[in-house]
A and B are shown apart, each in its own frame.
Chain A
Amino acid sequence: MAKKAKKAKKKSRTEEAASKAETTLRVIERTARRVLDAVKRGELPKLAVPSRTLSNVIYEPDVGHFELGGRTKARSLDLRGARPLAQTLRLLALSKELVEADDFATKREAYYVAKGWGDCRFDEQSASDAILDDVEALAAADGLSREALGFVPESHGGSVAGRLIVIDETPPVGPVRVDCAALGSGAYTVPRSLEHLSFESDAEFVLAIETGGMFQRLSHHRFFDRRPCILLEMGGVPSRATRRFARQLVEQLSLPLYVFTDCDPYGFANIYRTLKAGSGNAAHMSHLYAVPSARFLGVTPRDIVDFGLEDASQPLTDTDRKRGRDAIRNDPFFRAHPAWVDAIEELLEMGVRAEQQALAKWGLNFVIDEYLPRKLAAPDTFLP
C-alpha cells in the first residue's frame, strides 16, 4: 500500500507516459475483446462509433465546450459497415503496434501504411482521416487523445515565449529544460506530442495571439518582463498541438488565458471559439483540447470606438457579414452568451473590421504601452 502511494507521488512525466500507454493498450484490447466475445456468443459483431455529424454536436454552457451527443453509428458486418469496421479495427491494431514500439505516425503516414492492407486500403487520405477520426472519437470516450493512440498531428504548433520553463523528458535525450524567456530573438516551438512535457512558471496569465507579427512585437520588446506572462502564437485558427499546449498550460499552472485577435467575425467565431470551446468536426476531442476558461481580451468592437480606430478600420466583406450572422444565429456557443451576441451585432452595425495592427495607428508600441495595460487592468470586462 505504502509503496504504491509513494510511487504515485514520485511519478515522473515518463512514468506517467508509460501508464498512459498502458491505458491506451487496455482500451484497444477491450475494444477487440468486445468484438471477439460477440462472435463467441454467436452475435454479429458491432462497433458503436460516436456520430460526428454537426447535428450530433451539442454545447453545454455549464461544461463550456462542444461535445458529441449520444448518437452513435453502428459499424457492423453489413454491406455498408464491413469495410469501415475492418479499417477501424486495423487502425486500432496499428495504434497498438505504435504504442508498444513507442513510435508514432502522422495521418498521412497512417494513410500510406494502410496502402499495404489490400481490400482495406484507403483510396484517398480523406477516407483514412475520417476513419482515424472515428478511432479517435472511440478512444476519446475513454479520455484518450489521438496522440495517446500514436497518431500525431502533421504540423507542430505555434511559438511560445515568456515566463515559462518547459521540462522535456522525451527519450532518449532525457530531461531538457527550455527557458522560453531566454531564447533571444527566437522562440520555443510547441511540439507535436506533449506526452513527456512538464512546466514551471511564475506567469500571471497566458496571452494567445492571433498573428505572428503581433507575437514578434510583444516577444521582441519582452512584454513578459513588464507583465509576467506566457505569449503563445496561434497563427490563425490554432492547430491541435497549440490548443493542447494551451490547455496543458492552463491546467497544470492554473493560469487564466486571454485571447488577442483581430476584430472580425473570423477572429471571434473561428479562432477564439475553437480555442475555447472546440470545433464542430472535432467535438469528440473538445474535452481534451478546449480551454473553457479562456476570455477574449480584444480587439473588441467597443475597442474600435474606445481607442479611436474608426479610420484605421476596413469595411466588412460579405464573408465577414455572413460569418457574423451565422455565429449569432446558429453557433450554440455564441447563442449561449448574450454579451457576444451584442458585440457581434454592434460590429455588424458598424460595418467595419479592425486588425490587431490597426493599433499601430497611434505608434508601433502603442499596443504595449497603452492598449494591453489598459485592457489588462480590467479582466472582468473581457468578453466571455
Chain B
Amino acid sequence: MPPSAAARLDARDLASRQRSISVSEFFLKNRHLLGFDSPGRALLTAVKEAVDNALDACEEAGLLPEVWVEIERTGDETVRVAVEDNGPGIVEEQIARIFGKLLYGSKFHQRAQSRGQQGMGISAAGMYGQLTTGEPMRIVSRTTRRHPARERIVSIDAAKNRPEIHARRDIEDWHRPHGTRVEIAMVGQYQHGAHSVPLYLKLTAAANPHVTLHLTDPDGRTITFARTVRKKPPRPKRIQPHPHGVELGQLIQMLKGTEATHLGAFLRKDLSQVGKRTAKAIIERAGQGLTARSYCKRIAREKAAALHRAIEETPIRSPSSDCVVPIGAAGLLRGLEQQLPASFYTVASRRPAVYRGNPFVVEVALAWGRRDAAHVEIDEDGRLREVGDPSEPDRARQPARLVRFANRVPLLYKQSHGAIHRAVVETNWRRYGLEQPSGSLPHGPMTLMVHVASVWVPFTSESKEALASYPEILRELSLALQTVGRALKKHVRHERRLERELEKRVAIERYLPHVAGAIGDILALPEGERDALVERLDGLVHRARKVA
C-alpha cells in the first residue's frame, strides 16, 4: 500500500522549506549553549563577556587594565549592567558590528592566547538583553582625547545577524580619555555564592594580578580588587600550529589553503618550530617522491598521509614559550595571597606543551590552611606558639575548593566537568597525606587554582565552562598537580611536626612549676625567684629542643 498523498511530502516540498539559519536565530533558540539559561547565570555571563573583552582590549593595546562593573536593579526581574574600561576604545565604524553581530571578531582566526575567542560573547549578551527587555545596548567608546566619545544605541537584527543602529551621538566631555562602556538591560538576578559576580571578579583578580577591578552592586556598595603587580604580562605571540599536534585532515586542509607554493616553504612557514633542517628531515622521512620543491596543492592523500607520519616521527622542538603567557609563579602567589588568605602557598608552572598543534601551559597553585585558623608558629628564639582562633571551623574534612581558569578567566560553572576536575580527581592525594574519597576531590583546608593557558582553549561548549580532556592536557595537569602535592606533603608534615612538638613542649612545661616549686621548697627560695626559675627552665627547654 502506498502511503496516502496527504501524509507524504516529496523532496520538492522539503526543499522549499530548507534555508540557511542565521546564527542569531540559532542563538534565540539555543541561548543555554551560550550561558543565558537562567536570570542569575545570564547576568554573570554578560559581566564575564564584557570584562573579558575589556581586559583583552587593554592588554592588546599595552595598557594596564582597570575595569568598572556596575549593576543596577531596574525592576523586579530586570537589571542594567554597565562595564567600562580604560582600554584603547573602538573606532567609530566598528562599534556597531562588534556589539551587534554574532561571530564577528579578531580572535577567532588568530593563534594567540586571549580570553575571548569566538567573537560571540558580548553580542550574545546584547541579544539576550534585547530579547528579554526589548531594549537595545548603549555603547560609548573613545579612542583618543582628540576625538569625542561616540555613543551608539545598537540592537541586533536576529534574522540577518546584522546590527541596527537606533541612535548615534558624540559626547565631547566624556570623563575618560580613551576606553569603552557598554550598557545592557536584561532580565537578570544578582546572586551570591559560587556563581556570583563578586566571586568571579575576585578570582579574575587572583589570576590577573596586574588588573584592577571595581564592582558597584545593586545596593550601591563598591568593592575594589586592586592590582598587586604593575608589570604588564608579556604580549602572547601569534604563532603557527605546532607540527606534532596537527591531525591528518587538518594537514590536508592546510596544504590546500596555504599561500606557499612548495612543500619546503609550507613546512617552514605554516608550521611553527620547523626550520630548514627539520623540514628536510621530514621530507626525506616521508619518501613517496616528495621533495622540498613538491607543489603543495598537488600532494595527494596518500602522500599527505606519509608526510603526516613523517612529521609524527621526526623530533621537533617544543613550541616556543612566548606564544602562551602563563600567570607565572610569582604572579600566582601575589594574586593568591591578596585574594585567598592562607597559611601556605605552593605553585607549579609547567613548560609549554602541545595538543593538536596548539601550545598550552598548565599552572597549578595551592593555598593551604587559613591564615586565621589555629596553627602552630615557631619564632626566631625557637619558641612555639599556637596562633589563630581555635574556634574556627576545621575544614579538614571538607572537600578542597577547586578554582579553574582558562586563559586567566575563572570558570564558575560545571565545576565537576572537564579535564581539570578529572585530573584533580584522578590524582592520588592520599599519597600526599590527604583524605580522598574515591572519585572525589581531596579533603582538606585547601584551595586549588588550576590555570590552562593556550592559543586555543578546547572548551567543551560555547559557554566556555569546561575543557576537553585531551590526553596531553590531562598529562600536564596531572604532573603539575603532583608537584604541588609533593610540596604540600612536605609542608603538612612540617605542620604536623610542629603540632606534635608543641604538644610535647606543653607536656614538658606542665612540670616546670613543679620542678621550680620543689627546688624552691628545698632551698627556701622566695616566690619571685621561683617564678624566675620557671621562666629560665622554659627558655632552656625551648632552646634545647629543635624542630627539624
Contact = CB atoms under 8 A, between A and B. Distances in A.
Interface string B487-528: 000000000000000001001101110110111011100000
A90 B514 CA distance: 7
Nearest to A78: B508
Contacts of B504: 79
A59 to B, nearest CB: 35
B508 A36 contact: no
A32 B540 contact: no
Interface in B35-62: none
Q: How large is the interface on B (under 10, 10 to 19, 20 to 34, 35 or more residues)?
A: 20 to 34
Given A33-B523, A85-B511, A77 B537 contact: yes
B523 A86 contact: no
A77 B516 CA distance: 12
A356 to B, nearest CB: 49
Contacts of B306: none
Given A89-B518, A96-B521, A82 B508 contact: yes
B514 A36 contact: no
Interface in A69-85: 77-79, 82-83, 85
B256 interface: no
Contacts of B540: 39, 42-45, 77
B536 A39 contact: yes
Interface string A26-56: 0011011101100110111100000000000
B301 to A, nearest CB: 77
Nearest to B509: A82
B9 interface: no
A45 B522 contact: no
Given A39-B536, A44-B541, A29 B522 contact: yes
B514 A120 contact: yes
Contact of A90 (B507, B512, B518): B518
A37 to B, nearest CB: 11
B519 A36 contact: yes
Contacts, number: 75
A124 interface: no
B511 A32 contact: no
A202 B478 CA distance: 97
B400 interface: no
A36 B523 contact: yes
B519 A89 contact: yes
- Residue from B512, B514, B523, B537 whose CB has the most chain A CB atoms within 10 Å: B514
A92 interface: yes
B507 A79 contact: yes
Interface string A7-29: 00000000000000000000011
Interface string B523-546: 100000000010011001100100
* Overall SS of chain A's interface: helix
B508 A79 contact: yes
A36 B540 CA distance: 12
Contacts of A85: 511, 515
Nearest to A84: B511
A98 interface: no
Given A43-B540, A77-B544, A86 B514 contact: yes
A93 interface: yes
Contacts of A97: 521
A92 B544 contact: no
Contact of A93 (B512, B518, B541): B518
Contacts of B541: 44, 77
B537 A117 contact: no
Contact of A32 (B508, B514, B519, B536): B519
Contacts of B518: 32, 86, 89-90, 92-93
A82 B544 contact: no
A120 B523 contact: no
B511 A82 contact: yes
Nearest to A88: B518
B511 A86 contact: yes
Given A36-B533, A39-B540, A82-B507, A77 B522 contact: no
Given A36-B533, A39-B533, A82-B507, A77 B521 contact: no
Contact of A89 (B507, B508, B515, B544): B515
Contacts of B536: 39-40
Contacts of A87: 514
Contacts of B544: 44, 77
A84 to B, nearest CB: 9
Contact of A96 (B511, B522, B537): B522
A87 B518 CA distance: 9
B523 A39 contact: no
A348 B504 CA distance: 54
A119 interface: yes
Given A44-B544, A117-B514, A92 B508 contact: no
Given A32-B519, A77-B544, 8 more contacts: A36-B519, A39-B533, A39-B537, A39-B540, A44-B540, A77-B515, A89-B518, A96-B522
13 contacts: A29-B522, A36-B523, A45-B515, A77-B512, A77-B541, A79-B507, A85-B515, A90-B517, A92-B518, A92-B522, A96-B521, A119-B510, A119-B511
Interface of A: 28-29, 31-33, 35-36, 39-40, 42-45, 77-79, 82-83, 85-87, 89-90, 92-93, 96-97, 117-120
> Which 4 residue pairs are nearest across A and B when measured between Cβ atoms?
A89-B518, A86-B514, A32-B522, A86-B511
